[in-house]
Structure 1
C-alpha cells in the first residue's frame, strides 16, 4: 500500500523503550511494533498496523528544545511486507519532537491536572442539572434547524446567526452560559464532547460518563505500547504482543483500562525512558 503523510487515516501511539536503545531507535521501534503487524498469522486482535513511521507529535519541555537527545521526523515508513519507503523529512516545529527521554517531554500526565479536570467536569455536570430543575427544559441546537428554520440547506450566515440567538435565548441555556462565564477555563470541555450543546452532551448522560469523557479529552496521549510489550488503544484492555491472542494470554496487563492509567504510567516511568510518537495506518 502507499503512504500519505499528512492525510493518512490511522492513529498515533507512544512507543516506550528502555534508555539503552538510544543508539538504535529505528530498529528498536521496529522490533517493538513487529508483534502487531497485520500478517494474519496469529489472532486477528494482533493484526493492527500495515504501515508506521516515527513522526512529530510530542511537546518538548521548555528549555530543552535544542537538546541533542531529542529525535525528530524519521524519513522511513515501514510496511508489513518488509518494504520501507523514504519520505521527505520536514523539520519539527520549534517546541515539538518525535521522541526522546521522558524527562525532556512536556506531557500532561500530572495527577494534579487530571484531578482538576475531573473536579471541574463534576461541578459543570452538577450545575447544569441544578439549573435544569429550576428552569424550563431547553431544546437542542439542532432542533432550531428543524423547528424554526426549515431551509437547512440554505445555511447562510444570517440563518446561522438567528439559530444561535434562538438557541442561546432559552433560559436554561442562557443561565448555564452565564455560569460557564464565571470559570477561568473549561480545560478542554468545550466543543461537541463537552459544553457546546449541554442539552445533548450533559443532560442525557450520567455524572460518571461526563467526567470520564472530560478526562479522556484532557489527555492527548490515549494510545501506548508499554515497555513490557502491551498495546493499549483508546482506553481498552491491553493486547500482549508476546502471546498468540488475548484469549490465550495468561499474563496480567501492566495497566488497567482507562485513559487516566496511561497518564499515570507515563508519569511513573524512569526519567531516561525513551518515548516515541509513532503514526501508523491501522
Structure 2
C-alpha cells in the first residue's frame, strides 16, 4: 500500500473542540473512502483506506505573532511518538494564520543563487559538453548542479526560479472546500494549488493529511 499526502480544506472549526476538526476532515474525506458502504459496485475506486492528520516533512509556517493561537494544528496522528514542532511550524490551521509566503521566498532566493552559480560555472567551461564532463568527474559538482544541469536549470533563470517556488506548498492532492479531490498530474497544478490556498477565506481550516492507498 502506498502513502500519499492531501491538503484538506474545511469550514472553520471551534478551537475549544479539537474533535470537531477531525469530524470535519472525516466528513470531507468520506466520499473518497475505498470501502464506502453506499457504493457496492465492484468498479468503484476510491483514494484511501486510512488517513491521519500529519504534516511531517511539509508543515506550514505560522504567521509571526500568532504562534500561540489555539486553532493551529500541531498534533500528528500518524507518527508515534509525534515529533515536537517548533512554534513557527504547524500541520495546519486557519488559512489566515498560515504564512504562505516566507518559505516560498526562501526557496526563491536559494534557487536564484544556485541558478547564478550554474550560469557562472557554465560560462567558465566552453566547448561541447565541457561543463558536463567536469561535473561527471567531480561528485561535489554533481551534487551541486545535478547530473543533468541543462534539464534542471534550463535556459531561463526566471523560469527555473518559478519552478522551484511552485514546488513549496502543493501536496500530491488537494481536497477543496467544495469537496473536489484534485490530484497532481497536469500542467499548472502546482500554480493552481498555490493560488487556491491564497484565495481561500482567512478562517478556512487548511490541514495536511497523510493517507494510505
Aligned counterparts, 1:74-153, within 5 A:
75=77, 90=82, 92-95=84-87, 96-108=89-101, 133=126, 137-138=130-131, 139=133, 141=135, 143-144=136-137
Q: TM-score, normalised by structure 1?
A: 0.54
Alignment CA distance shift 1:67-1:272 (3 Å): same
Residue number among 256, 263, 268 corresponding to 2:194 in the alignment? 263
Moved more, 27-36 or 125-134: 125-134
Q: In the alignment, what sits opposite 2:150?
A: 203
Q: Which runs of 5+ in 1 are unaligned?
A: 2-8, 78-86, 145-162, 174-190, 238-255
User: Paired residue for 2:67?
Assistant: 65
Equivalent pair of 1:14/1:225 in contact (CA under 8 Å): yes
> Which stretches in structure 2 are left out of the alignment for 5+ residues?
none
Which protein shows a greater Rg? 1
Aligned residue pairs: how many? 198
Contact 2:95 2:203 in 1 (8 A): yes
TM-score (norm 2): 0.68
Tell me if the contact between 1:59 and 1:105 (Cα under 8 Å) persists in the aligned partners: yes
Match of 1:221 in 2: 170
**What secondary structure is seen at the aligned counterpart in 2 of 1:280?**
strand
2:8 is paired with a residue whose SS is: strand
In angstroms, what is the RMSD of aligned CA positions?
4.1
Quote how far apart the aligned CAs of 1:32 are. 0.9
Q: What is the CA-CA distance between 1:214 and the residue it aligns to?
A: 2.2
CA distance in 1, matches of 2:50, 2:63: 29
